[in-house]
Amino acid sequence: MTDQQTRTGRYLGGLFIVLEGGDGAGKTTQSRLLDQWLTSQRISHLMTREPGGSGLGQRIRELVLFPDSAEICPRAEALLYNADKAQHVEQVVIPALREGKVVVCDRYIDSTIAYQGAGRVLDPEEVAQLASWATAGLVPDLTVLLDVDPSEGAGKIAAKDRMEAAGEEFHRRVRQHFLDLADTHPERYLVLNARKRREEIRDAISKQVSELLGR
């Protein structure tokens, strides 16, 4: 994908888990349930998100998702999302991993590739290279993809932000690219049907995380 040297959360001493998927897939719910499970297991962890996981990132989040920010062109949007990543990884994610924590992030590089690359019809490879550079080559140990048809996900969200309101064809391109990424990186992907019961999804995720932790 890129010449950038990659490293995982384990390489830095922790475990890096990312939740990905289209809008309305239930990532927020599963993030909360995973937080509860990690707490119940007394596992030191950090819950975070992109965009918005740092002070700078929160300001970028407000800019890129605000419905009235329609004038942001696709390349500028990709650069803003990657500025968020650079700050977030440097200031929040890497320090937590070096402390031996499990870091759980709601969206990461693959969202940027799928949304700003495939969704905005930019070159996904170029977006991937930019994202890898912005994150200093940090890749997840586990990426959980909650797969949902756009008509059942983003299409049912009432109050839409700028991404959610991008249209069904946009979200279909995003979904397909997520699935393509999962096919390309099966060693780190867990693909789950987001329409299954939330408890069933929770159990599948916690089982995979438990195995990665050697429990």
Binding residues: 21-28
How is the chain split among helix, strand and coil, in percent rounded to 5?
Answer: 50, 15, 35
Rounded Cα–Cα distance for residues 66 and 82 (Å): 17
Do the beta carbons of residue 183 and residue 8 sit within 8 Å?
no
Query: What CA–CA distance (Å, rounded) separates 108 from 135?
Result: 10
Cβ 27 vs Cβ 20: under 8 Å:
yes
H/E stretch holding 110 reads helix 109-112
Q: Is the dihedral of CA 19, 103, 116, 59 positive or negative?
A: positive
**Binding-site residues for ATP, please?**
21-28
Contact 81, 65 (CB under 8 A): no
Read off φ and ψ for residue 47, nearest 5 degrees: -100, 130
| DSSP structure string for 6-35 | PEETTTTTSEEEEEEESTTSSHHHHHHHHH
Residues sharing a CB contact under 8 Å with residue 139, sequence separation 6 or more, in sequence order: 6, 7, 8, 16, 109, 188
